[in-house]
Chain A
Amino acid sequence: MLATQSKTIHIYISALIVLACLSLVFALLMGSADVQWRSLWPFSTSDADAMSHSIVWQLRLPRALRGFVVGALLSVAGVYMQVLLRNPLADPYILGVSGGAAVGALLAILLGFASVVVSFGATTGALLSMLLVFGLAHGRGSWSSTRLLLTGVVVAAGWGAMISLLLALSPDTMVRGMLFWLMGDLGHSAPPWWSGVILVIVLCVSFYFARSLNVLAYGEKQAQSLGVSVTKLRVLLYVFGSLLTAAAVTLAGSVGFVGLVVPHMLRIVGGGDHRWLLPAAALLGGSLVVVADTLARTLLAPQQLPVGVVTAFIGVPLFLYLLYRGSGTFRS
């Protein structure tokens, strides 16, 4: 089945929209407090229900939306990075954006700042890293995938060392919070509005060049000979990919695995056409993180698990299943 045929895409995307809605309902109903179905109705405010109503609408919904936005941002960023570097192993963190964000955030935690400042620190670190890698890779003229990849990986390694250093220097009481931040945590973070806005804008703009991405996947020279302005497109991909990653890390730390695996799952199921891949990545990535986060806060309640651990626990078997079933377009 070819996802290139728009009819097929509509069916697949509709299915993913249903999945996304189900994941949100699941997140709203599950938790240590029992919640009735009727609390899902936004306007029921009889006194008996007031408590569970406010749990659903003021605690669980913002957190679920945050998870959705984070998953969507990471998955779309993963698609960008994989096609930018033409490397199936690329993920949103490969070029060091999350490392820079982590150093910024950990510094803020170490200095004892409130969570708003931690987010600010993460954003600053992410943007700094993005400019650093871009500047170094751009260097003198050539901007090859290999050069960009190597620069990013080395800068990321540098951030990794800084993170270890900060962890080693921090008092024990702070290390746990820092580790949670590093593994991804949706517990104490800001509302997702501006990240959501970035996501929607970037997605809308990407439809304009989605078919060019299909061509770019075949190689830079091939793409240019088919009329794609390769240099411009790659700079745009880098900027968008980094911005999305920065937005995600600022919201929830580095939630692992989603950005790497969601694009591949979708390629296996519906093919590699970016006009399908981009919206589908947003929907599936979002759903995956919402479900993972719900499990993270309920499985061992009141103990909360890092969401990144759960995304990997769900993602690994799901991915392997899809790979070995070899379905859809890719039955050979």
Chain B
Amino acid sequence: MTVLQARDLTVKIANVNICNDLSFNVKPGECWGVLGGNGAGKTTLLHTLSGLRSPQSGEVSIDDQSIMSLPVKIIAKKLGVLFQDNADPFPTTVLESALIGRHPHLNAWQWESDVDFEIARMALRSVGLQGFDTRRVDTLSGGERRRLGMATVMVQNPDIFLLDEPNNHLDLHHQIELLSQLTALTKANNKSLVMVLHDINLASRFCDHLLLLFGDGETRYGPKDEVLEVEVLGRLYGHELIELGGASHRVFTPL
């Protein structure tokens, strides 16, 4: 049970004002979606939440401990990050790549045991990469590489998942499959999930809370039904939208 807290967070990058005095808590079992236009600072905010960069003011904490004061290894056990893109300058195999997720759980002299291999294979299976163990990572397609990145975070098995566009490069089937799996995992194991998304409809279907970044320091967050308004989304993306009546979940489409 780990709570991610942002307190009076002010984040700026270059001359973009991402958020001013933003405070919110992500509690176990919650799925948060971060929405905003290109360059609004979604990735930068995610990096700030993960402790990879420090905010201009305010702080991020995990269970009331400031993230900047925690050793990286402790953070890595509680908080896992999926980055926007992966670069692999050296050739590796799919299984090796997934296994690095076990790094924070092993001490310096320890070798990966059969248990670790099994954890990695299970994660690969869950993203549909079974049988890919010895495939070279640079022969994977964009979508397969993305799923491998996701498998590595699952191997890491943190309490809080911070995912930067997890559905990027994925086909329709894998998008729905991955997001359903992630939200189910979050609810069942009391994990928390914060993900940057570009698709309002996926966000509305899979997240229970949303955080909108307008790119000028203005932010808006809360339970999704309080945040999802045609007028607000139109302002967020600078493009008019209409809402179509969906009984089970709300659907928005651009005009």
Instruction: Show the binding face of A for B, using Cβ within 8 Å.
Output: 2, 4, 6, 82, 86-88, 207-209, 211-212, 214-215, 217-219, 221-222, 224-230, 267, 271-273, 275, 329-330, 332
User: In angstroms, how far is the closest chain B Cβ from the Cβ of A264?
Assistant: 9
In the complex, what residues of B have CB within 8 A of residue A329's CB? 91, 93, 134, 136
Asked if A330 and B91 make an inter-chain contact with CB atoms under 8 angstroms apart, the answer reads yes
Q: Which residue of B lies closest to A329 (CB)?
A: B93
Q: Which of B47, B50, B76 has the most CB of A within 10 A?
A: B76
In angstroms, Cα B53 to Cα A230, docked, is 13
* Cβ contact of B92, chosen from A87, A212, A225, A272, cutoff 8 A: A272
Q: Does B83 touch A at the CB level, under 8 Å?
A: yes
In angstroms, Cα B104 to Cα A212, docked, is 10
* Cβ contact of B106, chosen from A87, A211, A219, A224, cutoff 8 A: A211
Q: Does B77 touch A at the CB level, under 8 Å?
A: yes
User: In angstroms, how far is the closest chain B Cβ from the Cβ of A193?
Assistant: 28
In angstroms, Cα B90 to Cα A211, docked, is 15
In the complex, what residues of A have CB within 8 A of residue B210's CB? none
In the complex, what residues of B have CB within 8 A of residue A208's CB? 108-109
User: In angstroms, how far is the closest chain B Cβ from the Cβ of A279?
Assistant: 14
Asked if B72 and A215 make an inter-chain contact with CB atoms under 8 angstroms apart, the answer reads no
Asked if B90 and A88 make an inter-chain contact with CB atoms under 8 angstroms apart, the answer reads yes
Q: Does B96 touch A at the CB level, under 8 Å?
A: yes
* Cβ contact of B90, chosen from A221, A225, A272, cutoff 8 A: A272
| A221 and B103 contact, Cβ closer than 8 Å, known pairs A207-B109, A209-B108 | no
In angstroms, Cα B87 to Cα A86, docked, is 10
In the complex, what residues of A have CB within 8 A of residue B97's CB? 218
In the complex, what residues of B have CB within 8 A of residue A271's CB? 92-93, 96
In the complex, what residues of A have CB within 8 A of residue B139's CB? 332
Q: Which residue of A lies closest to B92 (CB)?
A: A272
Asked if A330 and B77 make an inter-chain contact with CB atoms under 8 angstroms apart, the answer reads no
Asked if B108 and A2 make an inter-chain contact with CB atoms under 8 angstroms apart, the answer reads no
In angstroms, Cα B103 to Cα A225, docked, is 10
